[in-house]
Amino acid sequence: MKPLALILSSLLIVASSFAAEQPPNFLLIYADDLGYGDVSTYHPSDCHTPNIDKLAAEGMLFRNMRANCTVCSPSRAALLTGRYPDRVGVPGVIRTNPEDSWGYLAPGIPTIGNELRKVGYHTAVIGKWHLGLESPNTPNERGFDLFHGFLGDMMDSYTTHLRQGHNYMRRNAEVIDPKGHATDIFAGWAADYFRERAKEKQPFFLYLAFNAPHFPIEPPAEWIARVKQRAPQLDEKRALNVALVEHLDDRIGQLLAVLKEVGLDQNTVVAFGSDNGGSLPHAQNNDPWRDGKTSHYDGGLRVPFMVRWPGHIKAGSSSDYAGLNFDLFPTFLELAGVKASKELDAISLVPILNGGTLETPRDLYFVRREGGAAYGGKSYEAMIRGDWKLMQNTPYSPLELYNLKNDPQEKTNLIGKAPKVFKELSTALRTHVQIGGATPWQKPETHEP
């Protein structure tokens, strides 16, 4: 007879192998305009985010990640396709008014929903879509079994859910009119989804895209009262934003509790990020980085980012890897056992999550196209290569060059002082612009001037 210890060891090996064969679930929580400085795990803040902080403490905190764009639609298009936004037709914001819309999600480009559904995942979007209002660019047509959320760009109010008088709330193709604060609504729908999926053996991918804390800054009354009582020194705009973020954090905590309650937390990879930096005119905080939303300075690009998977990612770990939000695309595919397309621009973070490193250097490329007098419908770009960053902040402004290692706050413009670096980066940037130019960013219809 085998010794008891040997028998137990054999059973553990079998159990471990069985667990490894179970594909993980994926929960991607995406905030809207949440600044790096408004997540208290990064540094002491007047904004308290204990649940987001706990998520980081239970997994890996990334300190040097950036969004793929300084505004909503391009960042989301990159996140869901694993490609730079202009290469999928979304260099700018997709808006409800066609004359002021600067992107069109390219048909035929597979999303992460398409790829995971191929290998048996149930795929869902809850919350903000912002990648198209009509066929063929609704969520159900772009790889998602369930859409329960808001098609448009932003809400005029968190409680009416309208945009310029129009209702873009949907459950799949059905127009719906839910009641309550949008953050509460999306969190409630996500909790219902977890309870439904717990009854099934099928793995799932949920992209949970809150529209908080995007303006208008409308926290529930009890949350603003709570913040004002705790911190009466805050001015009105700052207090409102703190309350909106803390309300969001509370709902994230409730969701993670439901995930545990229904027994899904141990085999669910939870990732958290934001589509761009916070909006400075709305008293959002991107410290210690310069500037904010719409800007290619790092305040517009650096975002909170963390990944948790109990038993697989070491709790309390951190990484200074300089990556981009869309790196989650090949990361999730690899964890699901799917080979990623060579056409992706994103890079899997799995080696880092396993405690290793990624040695292959790569450029980080950013683009935004915008209308109005300040932009003229033109694009402006930025590029990071190693310690160096070349950038513009409008199509009409001069190029700027920074050494991020020596000058992380981007205070000293070195344009004209490092000609070799400038030549290398500007040549590489032109190549990126050329590649992006191959994909139309308007509907395939004739536009009359």
Predicted confidence (pLDDT) per residue in 91-146, tens digit: 999 999 999 999 999 999 999 999 999 999 999 999 999 999 999 999 999 999 99
Per-residue pLDDT of 341-357, as tens digits, reads 999 999 999 999 999 99
Task: Output the pLDDT for position 359.
Answer: 76
Task: Using the Cα atoms of residue 196, residue 201, residue 202 and residue 205 in order, give the sign of their dihedral.
Answer: positive
Q: Which whole number is the average pLDDT over 420-425?
A: 98
Show the DSSP H helices in 280-384 as ranges.
298-301, 328-335, 350-353
All residues at 6 or more sequence positions from 375 whose CB lies less than 8 Å from its CB, including other chains:
369, 394, 395
Task: Output the pLDDT for position 144.
Answer: 98
Q: Is the pLDDT of residue 449 over 90?
A: no
Q: Which whole number is the average pLDDT over 359-384?
A: 94
Q: Which whole number is the average pLDDT over 178-205?
A: 98
Per-residue pLDDT of 12-44, as tens digits, reads 333 333 334 689 999 999 999 999 999 999 999
Task: Output the pLDDT for position 444.
Answer: 82
Range name among 3-12, 351-360, 400-409 with the lowest pLDDT average: 3-12
Q: Could you give the domains of the chain?
A: 23-353 (3.40.720.10), 364-436 (3.30.1120.10)
Distance from C-alpha of 48 to C-alpha of 250, rounded to nearest angstrom: 10
Per-residue pLDDT of 252-281, as tens digits, reads 999 999 999 999 999 999 999 999 999 999
Q: Which whole number is the average pLDDT over 142-166?
A: 97
In this structure, the number of other CB atoms found within 10 A of the CB of residue 356 comes to 9
- The model's pTM is 0.94
Distances (CA, A) of 97 to 92, 100, 102, 215, 427: 13, 6, 10, 19, 35
Indicate the pLDDT class of residue 447, thresholds 50, 70 and 90: low
Distance from C-alpha of 203 to C-alpha of 364, rounded to nearest angstrom: 32
